[in-house]
């Protein structure tokens, strides 16, 4: 009987077996069984990918933007052609249900669509006659070799957020995806090659901290984009910056839903169910905290939530009737259940306990049932930290001012939502809340691809956001040219600093 399959690196347009001698297990989260092995790259293996990228980038960067856009258009067509297969592959490694996996892919594809407009996005500025016979213009040029380090929870979307913009701008890209669900990133690279991307422009190197450190210290990698936990995001930001790299590092989240007494509670319940428990809570833009204003609002909200939550039964990720699937690993299941116990120990009221859930025929799968807490306080560690599982915490507030303070003063500042019929309250809240992305009657306020994604405080390190024009700025550098053509007149001001007066 054959053992687990091996998942290769993808370097210079070729599958490359891991040579470090170190491997990681890739589980089927539905059964708990090891389904594959992935090589964990050494610094030398990472270096070979960088050499391939460095060799390929000059010609790719010199390719005109319209031709680069055509590769993106073709890649989009291939993703749409293979959507079902990609979603199935993603679901069987990550554990999110197939419909959610398609959403993961589609949100990444929207950034590819944005990148198809790169000829327009790269246009610089021009001033004619800035001085006597002098014109000034700017151009955006690629950085060279850049890298992305992506998390397990969105193995399609976040890689496409990064490499789509970076490659369209003329860079070569090194992708280090999560070693927990690495197959889809490799498949994306294969499809980029099929779309006409030259070998070496996109490389996928699997690994753990050794590969991350190799990226952060390699002198030929000019920029690093990261999404993951906040502690690692801070480490990536500091280490990369110390090594002279441009870095954007997105961290964790603890997003709040503020619910005013005038909110449409039918909508709120539907939105909370989807955003708190969808994808087993493994989203950085999930809503794991609900903040109803006033005890009457809180009591009615909980009364409506309980029967809806009790209907939620986790299922096999490839089951079309499953509302959500397992979490990604046994260790993550233990972590989530540990936070539930922490909440109990801290004095929160556990209304629905999702621990101990098993699925018949899949008793070794990494399933966690939905949990609901009431009377959570802001000083509780289980509130302060990111649980990243199917757990909804209710924190009661007496008024909007107190409700707004909770997300504003929380260490994380990724996203927040307010549910209300009051335009004035929503406008004031959106203007003043100390959080990077705000939804008004929108539970998961992930911006569309031509805007930008990014949080505040410990949710993001660096000065630029993901995708949109922020992404174009991150993956390019500005060059400004001041030019004058000789008229035959000789100036006697050669030793005077030039001015435009």
* CATH code, 5-251+459-480: 3.40.605.10
Residue 399 structure tokens = 């008024």
DSSP 8-state class, residue 29? T
For 290-349, write each residue's pLDDT tens digit. Answer: 999 999 999 999 999 999 999 999 999 999 999 999 999 999 999 999 999 999 999 999
Q: CB under 8 Å to 360, separation ≥6 — which residues?
A: none
* pLDDT tens per residue across span 139-173: 999 999 999 999 999 999 999 999 999 999 999 99
Domains 5-251+459-480 and 256-440 share a fold: no
* pLDDT of 34 above 80: yes
Residues above pLDDT 90, as percent of the chain: 95
Residue 433 or residue 492, greater confidence: 433
DSSP states of 264-292: -HHHHHHHHHHHHHGGGG--TT---EEEE
pLDDT tier, 375 (very low <50, low <70, confident <90, very high otherwise): very high
pLDDT above 70 coverage of the chain, percent:
97
The strand pair at 145-149 and 221-227 is best described as parallel
pTM above 0.85, yes or no: yes
∠ CA 20-25-29, nearest 5°, is: 160
The Cα–Cα gap between 451 and 469 comes to 7
What's the pLDDT at 3?
Answer: 78
Tell me what pLDDT residue 474 has. Answer: 98
What residue spans define the domains of the chain? 5-251+459-480, 256-440
Would you say residue 491 has pLDDT above 80?
A: no
pLDDT of residue 335: 98
Quote the pLDDT of residue 480.
97
Residue 369 pLDDT grade (very low, low, confident, very high; cuts 50, 70, 90): very high
Check: CB of residue 475 under 8 Å from CB of residue 165: yes
Give the tens place of pLDDT for each residue, 72-98.
999 999 999 999 999 999 999 999 999
116 is catalytic: no
The CATH number of the domain covering residues in 256-440? 3.40.309.10
Q: How confident is the model at residue 487 (pLDDT cuts 50, 70, 90)?
A: confident
**pLDDT, tens digit, 9 for 90 and up, residues 231-272:** 999 999 999 999 999 999 999 999 999 999 999 999 999 999
Copy the structure tokens of residue 220: 């030929």
Catalytic residue among 284, 291, 391, 400: 284
> Taking the CB of residue 208, how many other CB atoms lie within 10 A of it?
15
Contact status, residue 57 vs residue 166, Cβ threshold 8 Å: no
On the question of pLDDT at 495 being above 60, the answer is no
Spatial separation of the C-alpha atoms in residues 147 and 175, rounded to whole Å: 6
> Rounded to whole angstroms, what are the CA distances from 411 to 22, 38, 77, 248, 402?
36, 35, 41, 18, 16
Reply yes or no on whether the pLDDT at 1 is more than 60: no
Return the closest-CA partner of residue 193 out of 216, 167, 219, 213.
167
Average pLDDT, the chain: 96
Task: State yes or no: pLDDT of 490 exceeds 70.
Answer: no
Q: What does the DSSP assignment read for 442-461?
A: -SS-PPPTTS-B--EETTEE
What tens digit of pLDDT does each residue of 410-442 get? 999 999 999 999 999 999 999 999 999 999 999
220 vs 214: CA distance, rounded Å: 11
Handedness of CA 187, 190, 195, 201 (dihedral sign): positive
pLDDT for 31 beyond 60: yes
The structure tokens 């246009």 sit at: 123
CA-closest candidate to residue 414, choices 238, 158, 230 = 230
Whole-number Cα distances in Å, 473 to 68, 130, 224, 314, 477: 17, 25, 13, 41, 7
């Amino acid at each position: 009987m054959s053992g687990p399959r091996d998942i290769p690196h993808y370097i210079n347009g070729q599958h490359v077996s891991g040579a470090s001698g170190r491997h990681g297990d890739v589980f089927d989260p539905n059964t708990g069984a090891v389904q594959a092995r992935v090589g964990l790259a050494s610094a030398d293996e990472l270096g070979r990918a960088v050499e391939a990228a460095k060799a390929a980038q000059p010609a790719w960067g010199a390719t005109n933007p319209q031709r680069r856009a055509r590769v993106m258009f073709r890649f989009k067509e291939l993703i749409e052609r293979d959507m079902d297969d990609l979603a199935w592959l993603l679901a069987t490694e990550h554990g999110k249900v197939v419909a959610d996996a398609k959403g993961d892919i589609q949100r990444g594809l929207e950034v590819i669509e944005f990148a198809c407009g790169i000829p327009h996005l790269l246009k610089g500025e021009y001033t004619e006659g800035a001085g006597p016979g002098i014109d000034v213009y700017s151009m955006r040029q690629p950085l060279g070799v850049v890298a992305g380090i992506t998390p397990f929870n969105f193995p399609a979307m976040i890689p496409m957020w990064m490499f789509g913009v970076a490659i369209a701008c003329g860079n070569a890209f090194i992708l280090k995806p999560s070693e927990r669900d690495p197959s889809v990133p490799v498949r994306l690279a294969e499809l980029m090659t099929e779309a006409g991307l030259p070998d070496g422009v996109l490389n996928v190197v699997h690994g753990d901290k050794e590969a991350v450190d190799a990226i952060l210290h390699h002198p030929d990698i000019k920029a690093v984009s990261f999404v993951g936990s906040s502690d690692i995001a801070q480490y990536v930001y500091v280490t990369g910056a110390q090594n002279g790299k441009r870095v954007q590092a997105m961290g964790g989240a603890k997003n709040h839903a503020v619910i005013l007494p005038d909110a449409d509670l039918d909508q709120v319940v539907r939105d909370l169910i989807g955003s708190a428990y969808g994808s087993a809570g493994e989203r950085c833009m999930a809503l794991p905290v609900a903040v109803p204003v006033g005890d009457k609002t809180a009591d009615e909200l909980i009364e409506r939530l309980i029967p809806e939550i009790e209907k939620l039964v986790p299922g096999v990720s490839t089951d079309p009737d499953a509302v959500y699937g397992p979490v990604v690993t046994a260790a993550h299941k233990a972590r989530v259940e540990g936070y539930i116990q922490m909440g109990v120990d801290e004095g929160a009221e556990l209304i629905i306990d999702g621990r101990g859930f098993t699925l018949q025929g899949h008793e070794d799968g990494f399933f966690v049932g939905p949990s609901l807490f009431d009377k959570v306080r802001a000083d509780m560690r289980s509130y302060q930290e990111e649980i990243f599982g199917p757990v909804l915490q209710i924190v009661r507030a007496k008024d909007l001012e107190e409700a707004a303070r909770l997300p504003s003063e929380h260490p994380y500042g990724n996203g927040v939502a307010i549910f209300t019929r009051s335009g004035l309250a929503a406008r004031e809240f959106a203007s003043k809340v100390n959080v990077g992305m705000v939804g008004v009657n929108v539970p998961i306020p992930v911006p569309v691809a031509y805007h930008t994604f990014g949080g505040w405080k410990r949710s993001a390190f660096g000065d630029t956001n993901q995708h949109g024009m922020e992404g174009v700025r991150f993956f390019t550098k500005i060059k400004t040219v001041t030019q004058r053509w000789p008229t035959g007149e000789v100036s006697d001001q050669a030793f005077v600093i030039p001015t435009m007066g």
